[in-house]
Amino acid sequence: MDLDFPLILTWAVLITGAIWLFDAVALKPRRVEARKDESEEDDEPLIVEYARSFFPVLLLVLVLRSFLAEPYQIPSESMVPTLEVGDFILVNKYAYGIRLPVLGTKIFDVDTPKRGDIMVFIPPHDSRYFIKRVIGLPGDHIRYESKALYINGERAEYEFVGQFYETIGREAVPVREYLETIDGVQHTTYRYPIDERPREWTVPEDSYFMMGDNRDRSDDSRRWKYVSEDKIVGKAVAIWVHKDPGLHWPTFERNGWLNE
């Protein structure tokens, strides 16, 4: 079971803050009054001491994580080759507006997602964070046919890079690599020899159509439709460290800014 860390952190801040405040307002004055010598050290309860110590730290972490930046680890191959399993990325939490923690309600506008952005969000069918590329904006008509994207009737630009083989089970499967350009944003995509019928979508208002760069190995909007605006977490801006699964040391060889 996945832990809802933002919710846990929020409750930890509220509880430690409430204990500290209640003690300062109601309990501490009584302790001071009960002591004969006010120069004596305050006999503070252990739970209040812990709350007073942890509250500022937890509050700082909550503010930084909710409004500025948040680390996120890539768990799947859906964004390969742009993002690999084990990449740790930095998510800009204010790129698309300031939002309340846990609730996700936007309280201050900054910018809106652009086609080609790599965005972290909560999909409609799962409570976990997902990361995909923004393909369709509100009102866009998206068509996916013969492994090619058509946005509002215009085909994305493609440049064939090459082909390699990947072992899946006992079979060597050919994988074709292309450079795809959407609104001036160029990125690499992979295509596997998997048939997929042509499909079309019209993106509703306040929603976005998301796809992984590893097109045939990505669970994305082609299956679960659209990402609601209030489920946006932030914009992925950089890879800051990489660690392969298992007993491996972190490396900084893949460090760099995304979409640059």
Question: Any idea which residues carry the catalytic annotation?
Answer: 78, 132
Angle formed by the axes of helices 5-22 and 46-63, to 10°? 130
CA-angle at 131, arms to 129 and 137, nearest 5°? 110
